[in-house]
Amino acid sequence: MFLSIIIPACNSEPLLGRCLDSIKSNIGGIPFEVIVIANGCLDLTVDVASRYQNLLPIIIREFASALGPASARNIGLTISKGDWIAFLDADDELTPDSLPGLRSAAKAGDADMIVGSYLKCLPNGTLTASSHQTTTNGLLDERFLSNYIRHYCLEPYKFTLLVHCWGKFYRRQFLSDIGLKFNDALHQLEDVNFNLNLLTHKPRILSINSVIYKYYVSSNAGNLSSMSGDSPRAIDDILTAYTPILKVLETYLPSQSNDDDPLHQHLVATTALLWLIRTGRKFSQLKWSDRVNVTRRYLSSKIVRNCMNSYKIMPGTSKLLPFFFKINSPLLVVLFFSLKHNLTRGKI
């Protein structure tokens, strides 16, 4: 076997070395290549990567403009030679169990995608382990996947097996056979869209009981995850990214596969609410008029408001925000987040 590790990197100078060190330390006996797609970098990202050319079989491609993660990964896929593909974010790490897990799983020869658990590292250094709400060790059968997809639609923030392209190994031949690439029109959720499109082709997914990835939650305001709700394209990205879920539901839950399917609508509504919450956490940094304008972008979508009719309040989620959506009141949303922020800060 031969592994290609694809790393999109944009202004990743401070953390890319840590990422590459994790590969150097943990690769252990598997032929591999590292492909760094440096794009839109205004720092020394390329210099950091270049320092590893005598330590790792590394290929560096530099682009002056910021491509976005989807286009960067597609370029990496085109360049790569491996029969297995891994996507690694420049601020994350592989773990000591990642490559041994791949080696033993790949020898079985009956998987198109291999998934494992991951460690989440918070900005304060706290580590938590996540198994994507599955402890299965072996091939995930259709019954398991059908049940998992149903739970994913209801609570995508808990059932995260489909959410990221990192922490997984993909068989190149399967990707080539189905012609799968990332949708580079998406600014966000491109990895969700990628995995949902993959699912429509019924891949053989092997789950291994190993922690194979270390994911760092960044406190940087420019981090993609923290910016999810800020983009003017946020709603369009949600609707586009989740388009394949209709075919996924048709494949795994054939009784629930049309545009009005409540699971699909709940998923869209939940993501819109999550992104609005992320944006609301930063309202203190915005002028009042900007807070209202950002909120109005969410509430003005008739499609999302219609999806709210199928939204089910899950344990631990807000009861007020869905109501504000339904009555289309940006002002109430802004007041809600402003009050919550002041309570948190002890100002009330």
Distance CA 76, CA 78 (A): 5
Residues of the chain with pLDDT under 50: 221-226, 346-348
For 281-295, write each residue's pLDDT tens digit: 888 788 888 888 888
CB 174 within 8 A of CB 205: no
DSSP 217: P
Q: What is the DSSP string of 109-155?
A: ---SEEEEEEEEE-TTS-EEEE-TT----EE--HHHHHHHHHHHHH-
Q: What are the residue ranges spanned by the domains of the chain? A: 3-216, 258-344
Q: Which amino acid is at 9?
A: A
In the three-class reduction of DSSP (H, G, I as helix; E, B as strand; rest coil), residue 262 is classed as: helix
- Burial class of residue 125 (count of CB atoms within 10 Å of its CB; 0-12, 13-18, 19+): exposed
Q: Which pLDDT belongs to residue 347?
A: 44
What is the Cα–Cα distance from 112 to 211, expressed in whole angstroms?
Answer: 19
- 330/187 Cα distance (integer angstroms): 24
Whole-prediction pTM value?
Answer: 0.91
pLDDT of residue 86: 96
pLDDT of residue 192: 96
State residue 220's pLDDT score.
58
Chain segment 62-102, per-residue pLDDT in tens: 999 999 999 999 999 999 999 999 999 999 999 987 877 77
Cα separation of 39 and 8, whole Å? 8
CB 244 within 8 A of CB 197: yes
CA–CA separation, 342 vs 348, rounded Å? Answer: 6
Distance in angstroms (rounded) separating the CA atoms of residues 116 and 214: 11
How much is the pLDDT for 342? 65
- Alpha-carbon 337 to chain mean position: 25
> Which tokens hold the place of 270?
């939940």
CATH 3.90.550.10 fits 3-216, yes or no: yes
